[in-house]
Amino acid sequence: MNEWLDDFKTAVAFLTRLPMPHPDGAMPQNFVRAHRMFPVVGALIGAAIGLLCLALRATGLPDLASAALALGGGMLLTGALHEDGLADVADGFGGGRDTAAKLEIMRDSRLGTYGAVILLVSFAAKLAALAALPDAQVVYAMIAAHALARGALPAMSLNLPYARKDGLATNAGQPDAAVAVVAVAIAIVIALLALSWGNGFRAVLVTALCAATIAWLAMRQIGGQTGDVLGAAEQVAETGVLLLLAARFG
């Protein structure tokens, strides 16, 4: 139990801006093992965003405004970690002429045209989906979307080679098969508990399709994974699940 609690704390420290004690400037020794707790922390992030959205709706704010403010609150909670990865991937894949140029652009902290456009499209899609969900489904949909999107990351990290010899993904290390399987299993269980069985399985399939698409694209564009690629996969999967559920419930 102590190991699971330590992994939970490490996952919270990595995926959110919540203060968790760990050695300054050092990667926690249990970081790779802590991947198994990614979907649990994702579910809590989704629940927080969903509850904030419902609270704002209860004040009489329009659904669209409530969704926008709730998504903004979610980005404050996470430090826009995955959104940053999505923008970097769009800039690199869209603006680089070869692998070296793409990787160099992805390291640039400045936001380019492709990154700005993809962030706009992603935010608009999530905004519309969240606003379209009925009150009874908001929290459950957000829990499922965030748990599944983060639960797919350990499997991607395990199966994709590194695109560069240094960087966040390389320094963090790859989880083993057992950690990846546990993370996927936890994410699926959370989705099936939050949603009906039919919608839960549809959400799992959409997540797998989104993750596989980003993995295929990353292999073609830069020959493997970076931390930005994993962040982009999370965002695409999260958006895909929310759009699916909005279509089902809206």
User: What is the distance, to the nearest Å, from the Cα of residue 95 to the centroid of all Cα atoms in its chain?
Assistant: 23
Predicted local distance difference test score (pLDDT) of residue 167: 65
pTM for the model: 0.95
Over 70: is that where the pLDDT of 220 sits? yes
Over 60: is that where the pLDDT of 225 sits? yes
Alpha carbon distance, N-terminus to C-terminus of the chain: 40
Range of weakest confidence among 1-15, 120-134, 147-161, 209-223:
1-15
Over 70: is that where the pLDDT of 108 sits? yes
Q: What is the 3-state secondary structure (H, E, C) of 109-171?
A: CCCCHHHHHHHHHHHHHHHHHHHHCCHHHHHHHHHHHHHHHHHCHHHHHHHCCECCCCCHHHH
Average pLDDT, the chain: 94
CA angle 46, 83, 220 (to 5 degrees): 120
pLDDT band at 74 (very low <50, low <70, confident <90, very high): very high
pLDDT band at 170 (very low <50, low <70, confident <90, very high): low
| Portion of the chain with pLDDT greater than 90, in percent | 90
Phi, psi angle pair for 225, to nearest 5°: -105, 155
Q: How many CB atoms lie within 10 A of CB 210?
A: 23
Domain ranges of the chain: 35-249
67: CB partners within 8 A, 6+ apart: 53, 126, 127, 130, 131
What is the DSSP code (8-state) at residue 19?
Answer: -
Predicted local distance difference test score (pLDDT) of residue 164: 85
Predicted local distance difference test score (pLDDT) of residue 168: 64
